[in-house]
Amino acid sequence: MAKRVQVSERALIQRINRRLKRSGEQLRAARSEAAERDLGRHFVVDVNRNAITTQNVDLEKFGRKLGVLQPWEVVQ
């Protein structure tokens, strides 16, 4: 049986941000309840235009899509 390696949410966010930096984007977390209702807990911002590009980001799915989370890794 393959061993599953746990990755913390914080480590996954750092990996995602390192990958997004190449395209001038950054993953951010909502800081208020109102923002969380509108944008979701996590969202992606284009830092050059200061515009939101992606809302309601599921960290695990997004990490796998970007290739920063391997098949044998799971989020704590």
- pLDDT tens digits, one per residue of 6-19: 999 999 999 999 99
Nearest to 13 by CA among 72, 76, 59: 59
Residue 57 and residue 42 in contact, taking contact as beta carbons nearer than 8 Å? yes
Size of the chain, expressed as the number of residues it contains:
76
Phi, psi dihedral angles at 28 (to 5 degrees): -130, 160
Instruction: Render pLDDT for 21-62 as a digit per residue (tens, 0 to 9).
Output: 999 999 999 999 999 999 999 999 999 999 999 999 999 999
Query: CA 15 to CA 28: how far, in whole Å?
Result: 13
The pTM of this model reads 0.91
> 4 — alpha (psi -120 to 50), left (phi > 0) or beta?
beta
Hey, where are the domains in the chain?
20-75
